[in-house]
Amino acid sequence: MPLVQRAILLIASVCFLAFVLHLVRKKRLSTKYSLLWIVLSGAGIAAAAFPGWVFWLTELFGFGLPVNMLFFGCIFFLMAATFSCVSIASDQSNRIRDLIQEVSLLKQRVEILERENELLSKTAERRPDDQRQ
């Protein structure tokens, strides 16, 4: 890998890592969801600093060229990121459904208590009149 490409990859990876860590510090990105992005930026830094392991993995897995292995890695990463997002969305959907059901039950309970309170107050208003007669 030419030196200029390595430098660009290193700078981009370090900037991306700093951005992810900044989002985590500002509580705009959860720590558990940031792990995938931290690993990605770490792999970019490692590939820029020590490009030999990319060639070694290319030979180990039988890819013809390192770029083929990198494309495969990118596709795998995108699939993992998509699965992570779908998993989070599914979990949030279930939590929202549970919260809606809970709020509906609480709303129904409040309406019942308000009706009971209204009946009790009407009954309390009538009693003094009944006792005078």
Cα separation, 28 vs 11, in Å, equals: 23
Helix (H, G, I), strand (E, B), or coil: what is residue 111? helix
Cβ-contact 12, 44 below 8 angstroms: yes
Rg (CA), the chain: 30
pLDDT in the model for residue 2:
83
- Residue 16: C-alpha distances to residues 58, 59, 63 (Å): 25, 28, 28
Q: What is the pLDDT of residues 1-22, one digit of tens each?
A: 788 988 999 999 999 999 999 9
State both tokens at 25: 């510090």
pLDDT confidence tier of residue 124, bands split at 50, 70 and 90: confident
Q: What is the pLDDT of residues 74-101, one digit of tens each?
A: 899 899 889 988 999 999 999 999 999 9
pTM score, whole prediction: 0.65
